[in-house]
Amino acid sequence: MEKEQNTVELTRAMYKEIKAMNRDQMQQVLTNIYDQGAKSVEHGAIEFESLREEISKINGIGEKRLDEIMAVIESFISPAE
Domain boundaries along the sequence of the chain: 1-45, 48-77
Q: Which of 38, 40, 49 is nearest to 73 (CA)?
A: 49
Cβ–Cβ < 8 Å for 54, 70: no
How far is the CA of 26 from the CAs of 3, 39, 66, in angstroms?
A: 26, 20, 48
Task: Give the pLDDT of residue 81.
Answer: 45
Q: Is the pLDDT confidence value at 7 over 90? A: no
Percentage of the residues of the chain whose pLDDT score is greater than 90: 51
Confidence of residue 37 (pLDDT cuts 50, 70, 90): confident
Task: Give the pLDDT of residue 10.
Answer: 86
Higher-pLDDT residue of 6, 69:
69
51 Cβ neighbours under 8 A, 6+ residues apart: 70, 73
Q: Is the pLDDT confidence value at 44 over 80? A: no
Q: 0.75 exceeded by the pTM?
A: no
